[in-house]
A and B are shown apart, each in its own frame.
Chain A
Amino acid sequence: MRKSLPIALLLAASTTLFALSQQDQQEKPLDPFEEAMKQRQQYLQNFGILPGDLFASQGEELFYAKRGPKEKSLESCDFGLGPGKLEGAYARLPRYFPDTRKVEDLETRIVGCMERIQGFRPEEIKRDEVVALTTFVASKSSKAKMEVRPQHPAEIAMYTLGRELWYTRAGPRDMSCAICHDSYAGKRVRLSPVMSPKQGLGSEWPAYRFEEDRMYTFENRIQFCYTSVGIPAPDFYSQPQIALTMYILAEASKAGHSFQELPFFTR
C-alpha cells in the first residue's frame, strides 16, 4: 500500500506547495524550522506520508530483492553489528570493517556490499539506489544515540584526517568548515542557522529537503557545503567524505547527541 504511492506524483505536488510557500515568504521570511514544520504538516495532511518515507520504502524493496549478476539480496550485508542487523547500525558508522580492512561510512558500505554480494560492477551502481538504500538502513537508527567513537588505529587516523580537512581554508572564498560551523555556530547564513558538531551537526541526515525536492544523504550534504563555498565537491565514497563524516559525527557523539527522526524532513 505504502509502496504503491508514486514518488513522481508526490514530488510534483511538492513543487506546488513550495511555490505557495515562496509567496508568503516575500512579506516576512519565516524561521527555517517553522517553515519546515509547516511544510511537513502540509505533506501529512495532503498525502498522509512524508517523501522521505517513500525513499525509505523504496530502499527496503531494493534491500530485500534478489538483484545483480549473483541474484542475491543485501540481507547478508554486515553494517558492523552482524549480517542483516540494521537496528542502530547507522548510529555507529563510520567504522573499521575487518573484512575490507577499511573505514567505511554507510554509503560506502552499501556500495561495497552491492559489489561483493550482488556482483554489480562499480559503474553499474546507480546513485539513486544507494540514496534509497541509505535512507532505509538509516531509518533503523531513527532517534538513536550517536555512538561514533574512534578506537581502532584506522578509525583514529580517519578522524585525524577529517579534523585536518575541517580546518583547511581553501578556494576563492577562503573557506573552511570550521570557520562557519565552529567559530560562528548559532548564527545564520542568510536565513539558515549554522550548527556545530557540538550542537548536533549531522544528526538530521539523511533528510528530505523540500526546497531542493531531493533526498540528501550525509555525503550529499557535504557536497552541497563545498559547492556553496566555491570548492568543487569531493566525489561520493571518497576518503574526504568518510573522513569528514567521521570527524563530525564523532564530535557530535562526544557531546551526547541523538539522531533526529530519520529520514528527517528539512528546508
Chain B
Amino acid sequence: MKQKAILIGVLAFLGLTTSQSGPFKARLESAVHSGGESYAQVLLSQDPAQQLCTQYRNQLPSALIPQFLQGQKALIRYPKTGKLLGDWQNGEKVFTDPKRGNCYACHQGDPKQLAYGTMGPSLTGYGSRGTSEGVLRYTYEKIYNSWAYVPCSLMYRGGVHGLFTPEETADLVAFLLDPHSPINQR
C-alpha cells in the first residue's frame, strides 16, 4: 500500500517535471495540423508507449521501466498453432520486403546481400545460438515487439503494428535460426 503511494508520487513528480505544459501542447497540435490532415492524423495518434519515448527522449526513468516492459509484453500475439519456428523461405521474403520487415535497412543477414545497414547488430550466423525453447521465445518476442525487451529502442515493433502476422514472425524466426537459411551459411 505504502509502496504503491510512493510509486504514484514518483510518477507524478516525473510527469510534472518533464511533460509539456498546456499552451505548448496546443501550439504543437495546431502546427502539426498545418502540415496536412494525413500527417496530423499519424503524429497526433501516438500510442502511450510512443508518447513516453517522445517525452523522455528515449531514456525512460528507471521507475517507469518495469511497467513499460510488462505493457509491451502484453501486446505480443503468438501463432495459433503455438509453433514459433516457421518456414525460413517465407521468412526471407518478409525480412527483405521494404514494406514489411525491411530488416536489411539496419541489419546484415545473408552474407551475399551487400546493401545492408549498420544501425542494428549483424544477424549473419544468428543460428549458432541453437533452437532451445529460450532462444526461440526470445527471438520471436524481440522481433514481434522489440520494446518488450529494450524500451524505446530504434527497432520498430513490427508485430504490434501489423507489419507482419504472428505466423510471419515465426517465419522470420526460422530465417534467423534454421541451419538451411542463407543467414547461417558461411
Contact = CB atoms under 8 A, between A and B. Distances in A.
Contact of B34 (A187, A189, A238): A238
Contact of A240 (B31, B50, B118, B156): B31
A243 interface: yes
Given A238-B34, A240-B31, A187 B119 contact: yes
Given A161-B28, A179-B154, A226-B39, A169 B115 contact: no
A165 B118 CA distance: 25
A128 interface: no
Given A29-B115, A169-B53, A172-B163, A232 B39 contact: yes
B50 A170 contact: yes
Given A169-B46, A184-B154, A243-B31, A29 B114 contact: yes
Contact of B154 (A180, A238, A240, A241): A180
Contacts of A243: 31
A161 B26 CA distance: 11
B43 interface: yes
A167 B59 CA distance: 12
B134 interface: no
B2 interface: no
Interface of A: 28-29, 157, 160-161, 164-165, 167-176, 178-180, 183-184, 187-191, 194, 226, 231-235, 238-241, 243
Given A165-B43, A188-B118, A232-B39, 8 more contacts: A172-B162, A179-B154, A190-B104, A235-B34, A235-B39, A239-B35, A241-B35, A243-B31
Interface of B: 20, 24, 27-28, 30-32, 34-36, 38-39, 41-43, 45-46, 50, 53-54, 57-58, 104-106, 114-119, 147, 152, 154, 156-157, 161-163
17 contacts: A28-B114, A157-B27, A164-B20, A164-B28, A169-B50, A170-B42, A170-B46, A170-B50, A174-B157, A178-B58, A179-B58, A187-B119, A189-B117, A231-B39, A231-B43, A235-B36, A235-B39
